[in-house]
Structures are given as structure tokens and as C-alpha cells.
Amino acid sequence: MSFVEFEDVSKVYHTGEVEVRALDGMSFSIKKGELAVIVGPSGAGKTTVLNLLGGMDSCTSGTIRLDGQLVSGMGERELTQYRRHDIGFVFQFYNLVQNLTALENVELASQICRDPLPAADVLAQVGLADRLDNFPAQLSGGEQQRVAIARALAKNPKLLLCDEPTGALDYRTGKQILSLLQDSCKAGGRTVVIVTHNLAFTQMADRVIHVREGRAASIETNDHPSDASQVEW
Amino acid sequence: MARSAYMTELVRSVRGSLGRFLAIMCIVALGCGFYAGLRMCGPDMRAAADRWYDGSALWDLRVVSTKGLSDAQVERLSKVKGVSQVMASRTADVVCKLGSDQVAVRVTSVDADAARKSKATSAYAVSSSKGSYLNRARLVSGRWPKAAGECVVSADATRKIKVGSTVEVVSASEDVSTILSTTMLKVVGTVSSPDYPYTGSFGSTRLGSGTIGQYVFVTASTFASDYPYTDAYLTVGSARAAVSGSSAYESAVDKVKDRVEKIEGSLAADRLAELKSQAQSRLDAQVAAAQAAAAQAASAGASTDLSAAQQQLAAAQEQVDSMAAPDVYTLDRSQSEGATTYEADTERLDRIATVFPAMFFLVAALVALTTMTRIVDDDRQRIGTHKALGYGKGRIAAMYLGYALLASGLGAVLGICVLTQVLPRIVMDAYSVIYVVPTLEFPLPVDVGTALAAGGLGVGVTLASTLVAVAASLAEVPAALLRPRAPKAGKRILLERVRPLWRRLSFSWKVTFRNLFRYKRRLLMTLAGIAGCSALLLVGFGLHDSIWDIIDRQFGPIVRYNATVTLADGAAQADVDSAIACLRSKGDATGIVRVHTDTMLARGTGSSSAATDKTRVSVVVPQTASKLASAVTLRDRTSGAAIAFGQDSVVVTEKLASLYGIRAGDTIVLYRQDDVGNATGKGVRLKVDAVAENYVGNYVYVGRRAWRRAMGATPSFSTVYARVTGGSKAESRTSDALHDIAGVSTVSFTRQTISTYRHTLSVVDMVVVVLIVSAGALAFIVLYNLTNINVSERVREIASLRVLGFTRREVHAYVYREIAIIALLGDALGMLLGSWLERFVITTAEVDYVMFGREIHPLSFAFAFALAMAFTVAILLLMRPRLDRVDMVESLKSVD
């Protein structure tokens, strides 16, 4: 029984009179506790997968399941609850609330969900024990992304969904963030999905889903993923 | 090419931020429109009056003689240089019976022939082929009088008289038969006269209550055959082009007035000579008759009565010889009550117009500043690109200045065009309740200077704000501009020091508080906008309170009597007793107080013009000091404490005291007045013991002994105040019975006064509506703009929150809580601002004889506060879809 399941999912956008088929029969599944990387060039449908899996949009046809729960077909209200309790989202540009400290940014997420992890502990886990009271503007990019990851983790979500998590970071910092994500998967037993255009990330994944023209072009499993610190790009 | 690229950019940026563009445009429209519109109210009203005065050939100068005028003097007046036309007429004030009341009526003779041939060419002009037919009234219904005993009455009087009815003249200051040839006047039509623009009072008189309640025009034949002309009306051609009341008008009239005044003495001497020769010839005839009779008697042999007759004739001769010259006065329009009341009202509007718009300009500046700052911040990259391409600062700034100029310029034109038409119209309509001046038609005139000043202010304020907003960004180097602006850093606020409290707050509250202090300009703009809104609302409700309080507090709590009975001077004690008995039996009257009343002129003791300008006051001297309290409540307004009144007391009412800055212990000077209302004599000085609450009229209450000391005489106490119970029926029953008693001169009831006031004050409700509407518009623009900026600035944040799983409701709360707090604060601030503004408006709008209520009722505070909040909530609800439309995908986008 797979944890995440996309079954023949299509998504059609209408912009004006033009019909854009962003996903065209996308099917894949991810097992619980896996670190999956969804990779592909721009325009292949990565972001649409992210939007659908993250509960930010609904698909046109097909079924999407998370942990046996049918996500496709959820209404706006149910989707909000789904995002609130089941998904931890890590943005490319962190998206921290500038006016809240690191600790408060984490608490911002944890205060709205059912059984959150203690915010200070999570921040300590990501190595920011001594930056709790700093505002985002006082943190470096890597530190900000750690706060964002902590914010996602503190919600104790079923799925950690990351959108180009190293996209705005330099190489060294990017690697540290990848390690942190791999850690929370391996040590924390959390299912992690990373959406990226960077093929190098495939080395550290348990499962790699190549996306091309709205379909899963190939799915590979990697029995011995390399350590994130070994990933080179 | 550069120009067209510039225009293209300008048009695109307007289209790209239509909401902001409209916000700037609307607030500038509101500011400029209010300024220009309110500024034009006074001039428009004066222009309307001037058009009417000119169109109906209203007099510029009026010459009055206490012993009349003859054709010879009228002829002399027409020869004075500068005088265009002269019309002589007869006027007399009489008391007429109208229903249960006796009303003072001004009877004026009209050139019936010219009047009949005249033609009303519009609501404001009456044409006549006879140039010397002046003060042309417009026939409203019926026809002009033809025969003696026919009359036309005012169509504008609050007390209407039907065509076909008959008005009975009951008394006058002298025997009615010496004035009129008949006492029954048949009403054949109604007219509207430019000499009486103010319906609240057609003038003052020595008869009855002191106020003319109706005017009638009759044929010359309705006056007694030997009743001379009383007035000569003059027009000054050179003053016609100027607006009545303006300084140009006054200087033109004054030149002629000076010349007329120079011949006043010789006119008086002329008149005296005429009167003397008339009297002499009458006397001579008598002497001749007496001599003839004597001769006859002598021939009959009886000469005993002759010496007595001779003595009588000698006394008569002496009387003729010692005949005094008449007083001749020259009056101008500033001495005409209606015209001056009207003009004073328009000047009051001018003063109010200087304060109100300031608030709108302030808010306009803040709106422009925040909006332009936001636009410039959004455009960082474009500014950077332009700079990198080598455009100069001026060229880039011109782009934003162009945008601001376009928005504010359009707003200014729109606001000025619309509100200079709408506002004066509303104000004129409101005033038409008490003034019969025909209002101007659309399009109303727009003074170029006023329009330019308003537009210049609005556009200038916006451009200045834009420069401030642009300057900061232009100072940065292109490289810095091409990078996204570092988000405004979070900051700790003072409240966080209060750890226990801070820890208890949820995040949205923490963010709310931090945001409040993070965006100071926005805080200020919203604060000013909402405060302005609630202040306007409070002014509206407060005005309503203050004005209706006049009636509610004056009649009942302060003036406890509702009937005033005046007896002729020197009425017998028995007549007074029977009048009082009648009040008791027919009207179940209580609180009967006998007083002496007199209309005098008062001034303060200082030497400044404010202290020496005299005000008409009613002096009341009760026969028994202790009884006054049952007719009039004398109390201090603030403490409510009763004021003791004794034989030696002098109490002045509050408005009078404030006009001259009089407090207990100060001195007031009272003068007697002559026929045309000028002060005579040196005046008497009275030491004031207390100041009493009062709203309508100015009163000086003087104890009997104090009065005798000051005036050297004991008054006649010919007025009786009483409280008649049993409503209007009892009042008319009592009135009818009183009129049958000898010596009773007038009977009046406050019921009529109250209804006149209610009518007059309904003007205010219109103003309240205008204020509420503009308050709503102000709130809308400010909150719309604020929410718009708030949302667009925080799109990422809002999108992220949605991704994190915040529900719509939670997002609304997150964004709106901040606005709601500012709105609450602004609303509270507006209460302070509003009470201050209301006080200003009240004191500016007050007339000399009325004091408005000084308190705003608690309920009005509650209403104004709640309504401002309701506006806020409504606008926030309206803006909700804007928040809901924020796409979650925004959170994935790069910062640009």
C-alpha cells in the first residue's frame, strides 16, 4: 500500500481561450518514509504536481490519495484542513513572516494544528537553538530556510513537501539544507517529497520520479541513496 | 519618441494600478470639491439675493421722517446727484387679529396702477414700464388691490392668510382712524417682496411682541387722506453692478448716502415749515371763525366766552410756533433686518468653509503619500532599470509626478465641477426654508480664483507627497534598486517588555501589534481618515442636538410662561385685574407675573468695537421680584444652580454676556432707542449680578428698585406673563376673551414661536445628511486604499498563510485585526476632534440673538462612534473578496 498515490491525474488550465494541459495522465506512488524527488525541466508539470499534492489546487480528473485519504475531490474547506494538518510546506523563498521571530514563525504553524511538536525543540533540531528570538531579517538565507523547515516539521505533518528548497541558497548552504531534509526522513521517519529541476538531487532519493510533458516519464527506486553531503552539482 | 514612450508608460501604470489611481483621484476630488463647493455657498447666495434685489428694483437708500414727507421733499431727493429713482410711500405698523393671536403687521402703500401693470419675468425679476416703481413684489396668487380696503398679503409668512379672507386692524401706536381709512382689509392676493427676504421676522416694531409677523400692501387710498408719506425709497444706479453687501456696493451707496445726509437738516426744516404753514392756516381759519362767532356774539350782546376762546387760540398758536422739526434719517440696506440677516448667514458659511476642507486636504496628503510610496516601492526594479539605462532622476521622477498630476488633476476637476454645483445647491435649498430669495439655477457660477486655489491645493499636496515618496528611492544606486528591497525588518515593540502580557498573546495579535508600529504612515493615514469620518458624524449629530436643544430647553424649562398679554400704556388697574381674572377663568392659567418689558440697546463697557457695537435686548422688570421665578427660570447653565432675584438684582442672559465678555460684577450699558432703532441718550449703567442660561433672545432682568434707581421712574408693568393650560383650544378661548377687555393690546402664545423655530431649524437636518454622506465617502476612500495596499504588500504572506492551512476566516482576522484596531483608535480620536469641531461650527454659526445648546448628547457620541465603526466594518466586508482572491501560487513565486 503506497502512502502517496497519483492515479491517471490530469489538470487542464483555461487561460482565455487557450487550454493548457499541465498534467496528462500522471501516475506514480511513493511509500511511507521515503525521500522522493520529483524532477523535470520547467514546464513539465512539476509545479502542478506540487500544487495538487499540497492541496493548493484540485485536479481535473484522476485520483490523488495520501495515506489512504482521497485528496482529489476535496472541497475548498476540506483542502484547507488537509493543508493545515497533513502537509508541511517548504518554500523556495522561505516565506517567513517578517514581523515574527524565528520561534514565533514556527509557532505560527504549530498553533493551528492538532498535535504539534514543541517549537523550540524543532528549532534546536535544525540547529537554531540560539537564534530563537531573531527576526528573519537578522538571519542568513540558510538560517531562514531552516526556520521554514522547522515550521513545516513542527506541524508534525504526514508529508513534507519542498519546492526547490535550495533554489535561493548558495552551494554549501544548499547542501546543509538537503542533509537536514534527508535527516528528517531517515531519522524522523517522515515522508519527504522534493520538487526540483536539479538532477543531482536524484542521487540522495529513495525514489525518483522524472516528469516530462505532464506525465511520469520514468520512476526509479534507489536502494542505496547517497548521503546528501555527497551530492554534487 | 521619448515623449510617446513616456505617455505609454504613464497610461500603463495607471491601468495597472487603477484602484490606487482612483483612490488618489477620489480623495483629491473630495478635498478640492468640498473646499470649492463650500467656498462658493456664500458668494452664490449673495449673487442670488443681488439678482433678486436688482431684478425687483429694491431700494438702496431709504429716507424716513418722523413727521412724514411731502412731494416737495421727495422732489428734492430725486435731484441729489447719484440718485436714480425715488419712490415715496406710506408705511404704518398696526396690530391685526389673526386667528386667536394678535400679530404686528406692517402696512405699506403700493402704486396700485404700476403694480397691476408690472410683470414677473422670472422668479427673481419683475419688469415695469414705470422706472420709479421700486421694491417690486411678485404677485404669487390672486390680484393686486384696486380699491380702498383691499390688500395683498405676504405669501412667505409662516402665518398664512387666505385670499378672500378679511383682516381686522385692532390697534396701532395712535388712533387707527388717523392712519387708515378703514379697519377691515380684504385680502385679494398674495405677494413675495424683496424687502422681506427673511421669513423668521419681517422686521421689528414697537407693537406687540416686537416682531412684524405679516406685511400687507394696500392702495394709497386705504391710508387716511391726510396721512403723509413716511418713507422715500431711493435707488443708486452706480451700485447696481456691484453685488449687494460687497464693499464695492457699499462704497457706491455711501457716496450718495453722504450727499443725502447733508440735506437731512434742510429737508427737516422744509417739512417743519410746511407743517407750520398748514397748522397756521388751519389755526387762522379757526381764529377767523372764532372772530366771526365773537362778532356775532358781540352783536348779540354776550361777550363772556370770548377770553376763554382767545386763550385757547393763543395756546394753539404757541403750539404751532414751538413745533419741533422732524427727525430725518437716511438708512441703507445694512439697516434692513431681512437683508442683513441673510448676508450674515452667508458670511457665516464663508467662515465655516475655511475649516472643514482642511481635514480633507490632510487626509488627501496622507493617502497620496502612502499610495505613491507603495507604487514607487513596487517599481523599484523599473526605476533601477531606467537608472541603469541612463535616465536622469528628473526624468524618472517626472513619471511618478505625471501619474500623481493626472490622478489629482482629474480628481480636482471632477470634484470642483460636481461639488460647486451640488453643495451650494443643497445649502441654498436648506436655507430656502427661512429665506425666500429665489435660488440660482444650474449651472451655478464657479469663481475662477476659488477653483484655482482649490485645485492648486489638492494637486500641490499630492505632488509634494509624491516627491517625498520618490526622493528616497531615487537616492539609491541602480544596483541596489535592482535587488529586491530588503523587507522592512521586524522590530520589537514596547509592549513586548511586558513579558507576561506579551506571552499570552497569540501570533496574529503579536503580528498585529508589530505591524501597527511598523507602517507609521499608514497608521497615520488611517487614523486621520477614520478620525475625520467619525468627527464629521459627531459634528452632524452634535449640530442636531445643539439646535433642537434651543427649543427643548428654552420653552418649558427656562421660559415657563406660554402666554404674553400686553396692555396699553396707562391701562387702568381694573383692566389689568380683569385680564388676569380672564386668564385664570378661561385658560386655567398659573404662574401669572406682571412685568414691565422694554426693548433697549445694550453694550459692554470696553472701548473695542466688539464692546461698543450695540445689541437689541429685551428688558424685563417684574413687579414683584420673588414672583419672576414662576415665569422664568434663572439658573447657571453649567451648575444648574438657581439664581436669586431680588428688588436690586440685575441678571443678563448668557449669549449677551458672552458677546461682551460680561461676568458677574461687570457693568452693562443700556440705551433707549428711537423710531428707527438708533440708540439715544447717554445710556444707563447697571452692575450685573449674575449670568443666566438662555437660548433664544437676549434678556436683561432688572429688579424694580434697581430699575427706578437707573431710570428715575417706576414702570407701568403693562405686560402679563402666564402659563395657560389646556392646549391650543384653551389658548384661543382665552385670547378671544382677552380681546374683549379694554386696555388689552396684544395677546401672544409661545406655541407660534416654537413652531416657527422648528420650521427654521429643519435646515440643520439637511446639513446633517450632507455631513454623514461625506463622512462615509471619506471612510470608504481611506479604508479601501489601506486594505488595498495592505493586501498587495502582503500577498506573499497571505498566500503562505493559506498554504500553511489558515482558513479564510483566519486570514481575514489576521489582516483586518490591525485595521480594526486603528479604526477604533481613530474613531475615539474623532470623538475628540468632533467635539472641538462642533464647538467651532456652533459658535461660528450662531446669530447674536440665539445661543445654541452647548452639549453633545451621550447618545450622539454613541451614534457617531457606532456609525463610523459600521462604515469600517461594511468596507472591510466589501473588501473581503480581494483577500480571498489571493492565489496560493503567489507563495511559490520569486521575490520581485
Q: Using CB atoms, pick whichever of A84, A104, A107 lies closest to residue B805.
A: A84
Question: Has residue A132 been placed in a domain?
Answer: yes
Which residues of B are less than 8 Å from A151 in CB distance?
Answer: 804
Q: Do B892 and A111 touch (CB under 8 A)?
A: no
Three-state SS across B387-445? Answer: HHHCCCHHHHHHHHHHHHHHHHHHHHHHHHHHHHHHHHHHHHHHHCCCECCCCCCCCCC
Question: Has residue B349 been placed in a domain?
Answer: no
Range of the structural domain that residue A100 is part of: 96-157
Question: Has residue B572 been placed in a domain?
Answer: yes
Which residues of A are less than 8 Å from B803 in CB distance?
Answer: 54, 56, 83, 89, 91, 95
Q: Do B892 and A107 touch (CB under 8 A)?
A: no
Q: Nearest chain A residue to B894 by CA: give it.
A: A93
Q: Do B797 and A95 touch (CB under 8 A)?
A: yes
Q: How far is CA B691 from CA A42, A89, B645, B759, B850, in A?
A: 88, 76, 12, 29, 15
Which residues of B are less than 8 Å from A106 in CB distance?
Answer: none
Which residues of B are less than 8 Å from A56 in CB distance?
Answer: 802-803, 888-889
What are the DSSP calls for B333-367, one per residue?
A: GGG-HHHHHHHHHHHHHHHHHHHHHHHHHHHHHHH
Q: Using CB atoms, pick whichever of B490, B799, B894 lies closest to residue A136.
A: B490
Among B700, B734, B755, identify where a domain stops: B755
User: Count of domains in chain A?
Assistant: 1
Placement of cell 437738516 in the chain: B265
Q: Using CB atoms, pick whichever of A47, A101, A155 lies closest to residue B892.
A: A47
Residues contacting residue B716 through CB under 8 Å, at least 6 positions apart: B569, B570, B571, B596
Cβ–Cβ under 8 Å, residues A8 and A62: yes
How many Å lie between the alpha carbon of A8 and the closest alpha carbon of chain B? 23
Among B272, B287, B312, identify where a domain stops: B272
Residue whose C-alpha is closest to residue B62's, from B269, B271, B339: B339
Q: Do A100 and B491 touch (CB under 8 A)?
A: no
Q: Which three cell numbers stand for residue B347?
A: 458670511
Placement of cell 513619471 in the chain: B399
Summarised one tens digit per residue, pLDDT across range A124-159 is: 888 888 888 888 888 888 899 889 989 988 888 989
- Name the phi and psi angles at B797, rounded to 5: -65, -45
Question: Has residue B882 been placed in a domain?
Answer: no
Residue whose C-alpha is closest to residue A107's, from B496, B505, B796, B498: B505
pLDDT attached to residue B296: 79
Question: Has residue A9 been placed in a domain?
Answer: no
Question: Has residue B643 been placed in a domain?
Answer: yes
Instruction: Examine the pLDDT at A43 and tell me if it is beyond 50.
Output: yes
Which residues of A are less than 8 Å from B510 in CB distance?
Answer: 99-100, 104
Question: Has residue B892 been placed in a domain?
Answer: no
Which residues of B are less than 8 Å from A100 in CB distance?
Answer: 490, 507, 510-511, 514
How many Å lie between the alpha carbon of A224 and the closest alpha carbon of chain B? 31
Which residues of B are less than 8 Å from A148 in CB distance?
Answer: none
Q: Using CB atoms, pick whichever of A82, A104, A155 lies closest to residue B507.
A: A104
Q: Is the dihedral of CA B71, B73, B74, B79 positive or negative?
A: positive
The rounded Cα B394 to chain-centroid distance in angstroms is 51
Which residues of B are less than 8 Å from A157 in CB distance?
Answer: none
Question: Has residue B206 been placed in a domain?
Answer: yes
pLDDT attached to residue B229: 93
Residue of B491, B795, B803 best to disrupt the A interface, most CBs of A under 10 A = B803
Placement of cell 458677574 in the chain: B664
Range of the structural domain that residue B248 is part of: 53-272
Q: Nearest chain A residue to B519 by CA: give it.
A: A99
Cβ–Cβ under 8 Å, residues B329 and B276: no
Cβ–Cβ under 8 Å, residues A29 and A46: no
Q: Nearest chain B residue to A153 by CA: give it.
A: B804
Q: Nearest chain B residue to A133 by CA: give it.
A: B492
pLDDT attached to residue A194: 92
How many Å lie between the alpha carbon of A74 and the closest alpha carbon of chain B? 14
CB atoms within 10 A of CB B238: 16
Query: Touching check for A104 and chain B: CB below 8 Å?
Result: yes
Q: Using CB atoms, pick whichever of B514, B800, B807 lies closest to residue A91.
A: B800
Below-70 pLDDT ranges, chain B = 1-4, 100, 208-210, 301-306, 477-479, 481-491, 507-508, 607, 609-610, 675-677, 760, 763-764, 894-896
Which residues of B are less than 8 Å from A104 in CB distance?
Answer: 507, 510
Across A77-97, average pLDDT: 88
Summarised one tens digit per residue, pLDDT across range A98-112 is: 878 898 889 888 888
pLDDT attached to residue B4: 66
Question: Has residue B819 been placed in a domain?
Answer: no
Which residues of B are less than 8 Å from A81 in CB distance?
Answer: 805
In whole angstroms, what is the distance from residue A56 CA to residue B806 CA?
12
Q: Do A112 and B511 touch (CB under 8 A)?
A: no
Q: Nearest chain B residue to A48 by CA: give it.
A: B889
Instruction: Examine the pLDDT at A96 and tell me if it is beyond 70.
Output: yes
Question: Has residue A218 been placed in a domain?
Answer: no
Residue of A97, A105, A144 best to disrupt the B interface, most CBs of B under 10 A = A97
CB atoms within 10 A of CB B263: 19
Q: Do A100 and B511 touch (CB under 8 A)?
A: yes
Question: Has residue A134 been placed in a domain?
Answer: yes
User: Count of domains in chain B?
Assistant: 2
Q: Do A89 and B804 touch (CB under 8 A)?
A: yes
Query: Touching check for A94 and chain B: CB below 8 Å?
Result: no
In whole angstroms, what is the distance from residue B785 CA to residue B577 CA?
74
Q: Do B803 and A93 touch (CB under 8 A)?
A: no
Q: How far is CA B475 from CA B469, B478, B480, in A?
A: 11, 9, 10
Question: Has residue A3 been placed in a domain?
Answer: no
The burial of B301, by beta-carbon neighbours within 10 Å (0-12 exposed, 13-18 middle, 19 or more buried), is given as exposed
Q: Do A83 and B489 touch (CB under 8 A)?
A: no
Q: Using CB atoms, pick whichever of B796, B805, B808 lies closest to residue A112.
A: B805
Q: Which three cell numbers stand for residue A66?
A: 495520501
Question: Has residue A115 been placed in a domain?
Answer: yes
What is the distance in angstroms between the CA of the first residue and the CA of the last residue of chain B? 29
Q: Using CB atoms, pick whichever of B507, B514, B799 lies closest to residue A107.
A: B507
In whole angstroms, what is the distance from residue B171 CA to residue B216 CA?
15
pLDDT band at residue A29 using 50, 70 and 90 as cut-offs: very high
Query: Touching check for A63 and chain B: CB below 8 Å?
Result: no
Q: Using CB atoms, pick whichever of A83, A93, A136 lies closest to residue B803.
A: A83
Query: Touching check for A162 and chain B: CB below 8 Å?
Result: no
Rg (CA), chain B: 36
Query: Touching check for A89 and chain B: CB below 8 Å?
Result: yes
CB atoms within 10 A of CB B267: 23
How many Å lie between the alpha carbon of A58 and the closest alpha carbon of chain B? 12
Residue of A46, A95, A156 best to disrupt the B interface, most CBs of B under 10 A = A95
Pseudo-torsion of CA A7, A8, A14, A19, nearest 10°?
160
Chain B residues near any Cβ of chain A (below 8 Å):
486-491, 506-507, 510-511, 514-515, 518, 796-797, 799-800, 802-808, 810, 888-889, 891-895
Q: Nearest chain A residue to B895 by CA: give it.
A: A93
Q: Using CB atoms, pick whichever of B486, B507, B800 lies closest to residue A95.
A: B800
Angle (deg, nearest 10), helices B2-16 and B18-55:
90
Q: Nearest chain B residue to A77 by CA: give it.
A: B807
Query: Touching check for A144 and chain B: CB below 8 Å?
Result: no
Q: Do B892 and A85 touch (CB under 8 A)?
A: no
Q: Nearest chain A residue to B805 by CA: give it.
A: A84
Among B724, B755, B786, identify where a domain stops: B755
Placement of cell 526509479 in the chain: A220
Question: Has residue B118 been placed in a domain?
Answer: yes
Q: Nearest chain A residue to B515 by CA: give it.
A: A99
Q: What is the DSSP letter of B211?
A: B
